[in-house]
Structure 1
Amino acid sequence: MITAGIDVGSVSTKVVFLQEDEIYYLVRPTGWSPREAGLNTYQELLQQTGIGDSEVAYRVGTGYGRISLGFIDKAVTEIHCHARGANYLVSGGGLVIDIGGQDSKAILMNDQGKVLDFAMNDKCAAGTGRFLQVMAAALGVDVSQLAELAKDRQPLEINSMCTVFAESEVISLLAKGADKQDIIAGIHRSVARRVWGMASRFGPAKQILFTGGVAKNQDVRNRLAIEAGAPVVAPELGQLAGALGAALHARDVAKKDFV
């Protein structure tokens, strides 16, 4: 049985095919049309794997663009899907911190990956991938360079978490001759503080899982662990947590229908 999970985020679209314990996936930029991004990425993965559309038993969409996907069988909230996918990657429950392109989420789940509570920042770019993109542009570097540039650096204080004001603050620090790498370290610390301020309301967790595109940034991960005062685990396929959770939900539904 093959099921599909399609996670259309604001920055990237992730598609996962699940066949038993085999995971096939593809990540592409979302661009201006969530509907086209979801369909095109799904069709491209079909071509890459040689799987026919008729072989896919069930398709679940998630993410902010899920309502625009006309080819899916069901839409499921990203909170549920991210928790389910994260728990599949690292079992045992705990606290999921997901930092995506335009929002950040903290999800408390039980040992089975069921959501117990959650908090979400989706009204402001602060503490998101978009915030890091704006800061990288102000510093004249690519966002993919941030982690290496900030490694083992002494973070400067970034007082504002508003994207517009923080950008002005960064430009001002550069004008005063501040070291660019120390500024980046300060930006990472401010993101970690902002996100942990949201997540800490759930109290101590048995483990902290870091997912989403920003989880690839080792320096943000390290500074999040400092703020949390506990180890932070970033699964290798953490960016796929939402799409993977959607594919798992699709498998549950498909099995019921099959029976």
Structure 2
Amino acid sequence: MSYSVGIDVGARMTRALLLDGHGRVQGRAIRETGARLELAAQQVLEDLCGNYRVSRPEIVYIASTGYGRYRVPFRQIQITEMSCHAVGALWLFPRTRTVLDIGAMNSRALRIAPTGRVEAFRMNDRCASGAGRFLERVARSLELELEEVGELSLRSQDPQPISSICAVLAESEVINHVTAGKSVEDILRGAHNSIGERLVALVRQVGAHPEITLTGGVTKNRGMVRALEERLGVQLNVSPHSDYAGALGAALLARQRWLRLQESAARGRLQSCEGAQTAFGPSP
């Protein structure tokens, strides 16, 4: 069996996804990226091989993506995040026409064609207030784990506004709300609403069309999904694989590239045989 692998080296997490020769998902792996990007990429590849009993020679093609995609020394090809998230989202939800990728450092809205080609895109600029890093700062200010904030925000009765577009300044607003005696749930709901407003602005700038699919690590946050759905007025596509959409798209494009190389090699062999017959004539 031959396999293709997509590795998404993100700012916070590194993910890898394994596809078999039939294009079926066979495994996933995740590690914190940390400061040593090459090591994180190597570890997720080793995790795939060890956990799913795949030998390294069986992996015929590896594509890397994410902000650290150039730091994967064993890749065959590197592909932009936009292309990978577009292809991954379309595989998860074939009627996708708009993708909202929410990562730790960056968020981007994509309008895509039925083929997965990116037709238009917008990204949050400069500040990380439109992405997961904002929620990390808020969680730290409230002495919470990042995984807790989404569920807690859903219990809010009186959301408190967070108006700053800067993640650092927003942290000061959070502290002010705490000092004023506001509940953790209400502060968190305000933080999610603030991010939601900025993300929805990106979606509208690309001329969003349904269906809209969410990708990236923040898709695990139900509070964020709720904030976006309330503002967009539609139900959003979210899959158990949504946080792996970048790695999935990379793996799919890696498999596509491998198949094209195989087809090209087969045509080359056929042309060589035909050339030999022309040169020496048919066999008696």
In the superposition, the TM-score normalised over structure 2's length comes to 0.88
1:155 aligns with 2:159: yes
Deviation of the 1:110 alpha carbon: 1.4
Q: What do the CA deviations read for 1:191-229 (whole angstroms, capped 9, x no partner)?
A: 111111122112241211111111111111011011112
Instruction: Give the letter for the 1:38 counterpart.
Output: A
Q: CA RMSD in A?
A: 1.2
> In structure 2, which of residues 53, 67, 80 is the aligned counterpart of residue 50 of structure 1?
53
Give the secondary-structure state (helix, strand or coil) at the position aligned to 1:232: coil
Q: Distance in 2 between matches of 1:112 and 1:166?
A: 39
Query: 2:99·2:214 contact (CA, 8 Å) conserved in 1?
Result: yes
Say if 2:67 is the partner of 1:64: yes
Q: TM-score normalised to the size of structure 1?
A: 0.97
Residues 30, 122 of structure 1: CA spacing in aligned structure 2 closer, same or farther, 3 A cutoff? farther
Correspondent of 1:178 among 182, 203, 206: 182
Structure 2: where are the runs of 5+ without partners? Answer: 264-284
Task: Please name the residue that 2:82 is paired with.
Answer: 79
* Structure 1: gaps of 5 or more residues: none
CA distance in 2, matches of 1:128, 1:66: 19
Q: Secondary structure at the residue paired with 1:50?
A: coil
1:218 is aligned to: 222
2:260 to 242, 245, 256: 256
| CA offsets 1:95-133 (integer angstroms, 9 cap, x no match) | 111111111111111122221111112632112111100
Extract structure 1 runs of 4+ deviating beyond 6 A.
none
Amino acid at match of 2:174: V
| Residue equivalent to 1:10 | 11
Task: Report the 3-state secondary structure (helix = DSSP H, G, I; strand = E; otherwise coil) of the residue aligned with 2:128.
Answer: coil
CA distance in 1, matches of 2:223, 2:71: 35
- Name the amino acid aligned to 1:203: G
CA contact (8 A) 2:7 2:14 kept: yes
1:13 Cα deviation from its structure 2 partner = 0.4
Q: Percent identity?
A: 34
Distance 1:122 1:25, change over 3 A: farther
Rounded to whole Å, the distance in 2 between the matches of 1:218 and 1:93 is 20
Bigger radius of gyration among the two: 2
- Residue aligned with 2:130, SS: coil
**Counterpart residue identity of residue 17, structure 1:** L
CA distance in 2, matches of 1:152, 1:180: 10
